Chains A and B, each alone.
Chain A
Amino acid sequence: MIRITPPVDNATIKTLKVGDKVLFSGTIYTARDQAHIKLVQDMNPAFDLQGAVLYYVGPTPTRDGQVIGSCGPTSSYRMDELSVPLMERGVKMMIGKGNRSQNFQKEMIKNNAVYLIATGGTGALLASKVKQRKVLMYEELGPEAIYELEVKDFPCFVAYDVHGNTLFKGGTDV
């Protein structure tokens, strides 16, 4: 079990291996399809991309008195191409679910980044790991807006490491 508090540096990236269980505590940023389209064109984002951890999620509405709604990962492959310019600008970790393209994997290694998965379909469990939530950018996108999340012991597994390994069995480029 490896504990990580973002921002993430290159030394940490190198130590991670496929199958490692990682518990995140601290700040991570949500971004999925529409937020990626906007973020790649946005040269002055409201957070520092250097060392940032992005989480692919679009939560359910938050009930009164709760921090966040159900918030499990969405499929990562839809963000494959748009991830490349963000990694070039310093994003170090991406959390989602499922296989990604070979091109993504190649670019990820080149940019010293790591791809992790959280367990898909466990949005109620993962919501219990989120301690604070604030809308940071693109509020008009609703559940697709970029949120700053403060998490505690948020559980993930390393799926692609910088040594070229993959956790997945099966799964081809789509």
Chain B
Amino acid sequence: MRKLDVKVIQEAVTKSLIKMNYELEDSFVRKLQIAKNNERSEISKSILTEILENQDIAKKGINPLCQDTGIAVIFAYIGKDLQIQGNLEAGINDGVRNAYEDGYLRKSVVKHPFDRQNTKDNTPAIIHTKLVEGDKLTLKIAAKGAGSENMSRVVMLKPSDGIEGVKKLVKDTIFNAGGRPCPPIIVGIGIGGNLEKSALIAKEAILRDLDDQHSDPIIAKLEDELYKEINELGVGPMGVGGDTTCVGVKINTYPMHIASLPVAINIQCHANRHDEVIL
């Protein structure tokens, strides 16, 4: 059985969270550049120009991309032939704590829903673990801001609502959110499972590679159609109207009860901070 010291995990989490808060992926930046060139109105073009200038400045490593440096969300896929030496959850949280201190990131986590006292170190992270084949640990890490998270939702549709019902729900959600989730957005959709499973697979959806194609042709087609139809809503960059409302739609599905059609819509803002590490 392969062994992995929890310290290695801790350091990887720290490094990853700091880097993602200062630097967007090149492939994502290229999508924003294309969006800027496509915009027809002066104001939406000018907003995308500011977003692109911002990432150039943030890349220098002095100030992060956005002041909302997020709550850390970590999916840990643990190989069943891997033995983690130490406490995984504590290790991840130590990694988060160090990242938010050493990286000059904002501590945005409060302990209690009503007294709102800040935990002062941005912990605890939201951690999801899953056992998988192999002897590796894969971490999918995100720094998730609240502006876009607050516009996300889970709705229990009726099975008879079907594809059209899902499309209407997604488009209404995006249109009603307007500029609040900081478009251009990435839309992660979870269809199926139950209440919490749909939300979980929607979150995993926003972490998918934007250029991948869903293996199920019905879902791949739905992703393409929603991508087009969401952009036709005309919400535009920061909600001011325009050609680019989303730069990606990713859908994950899961089997569900005969009586249910749960749909979760998780929105990711244009400060698309995530990373994947294999240890």
Contact indicator A124/B240 (Cβ below 8 Å): no
Quote the shortest CB–CB distance from A149 to chain B (angstroms). Answer: 13
Cβ-closest chain A residue relative to B151: A174
Contact B63 A69 (CB under 8 A): yes
A143 and B177 CA atoms in complex are apart in Å by 26
Min CB–CB distance B175 → chain A (angstroms) = 4
- The answer to whether A171 and B177 have CB atoms under 8 Å apart is yes
Within 8 A of B (CB), among A111-134: 117, 119-125, 127-128
Q: How far is the CA of A116 from the CA of B120 in the complex (A)?
A: 31
B104-A63 in contact (CB<8A): yes
| In the complex, A77 has a CB within 8 A of chain B | yes
- Looking at chain B's contact residues, the main secondary structure is loop
Classify the secondary structure of A's interface with B.
loop
Q: How many Å from the CB of A167 to the closest CB on chain B?
A: 5
Chain B interfacial residues counted at CB < 8 A: 45
Task: Report if B260 contacts A (CB, 8 A).
Answer: no
Q: How far is the CA of A169 from the CA of B231 in the complex (A)?
A: 12
Taking each of A75, A119, A159, A174, which has the highest tally of chain B beta carbons within 10 Å of its own beta carbon? Answer: A119
Task: Give chain A nearest CB distance to B75 CB in angstroms.
Answer: 23
Some 30 contacts from A to B, beta carbons below 8 A apart, are A19-B240, A57-B67, A58-B67, A58-B106, A60-B63, A61-B106, A69-B63, A70-B106, A74-B67, A75-B147, A75-B150, A77-B180, A97-B180, A97-B238, A120-B179, A120-B182, A121-B66, A124-B54, A125-B54, A142-B118, A143-B67, A155-B50, A168-B241, A169-B233, A169-B240, A170-B174, A170-B178, A170-B235, A172-B176, A174-B176
Apart from A123-B66, A124-B64, 11 more pairs, CB < 8 Å: A59-B67, A60-B64, A60-B106, A63-B62, A66-B62, A69-B104, A70-B64, A75-B150, A125-B57, A167-B240, A172-B178
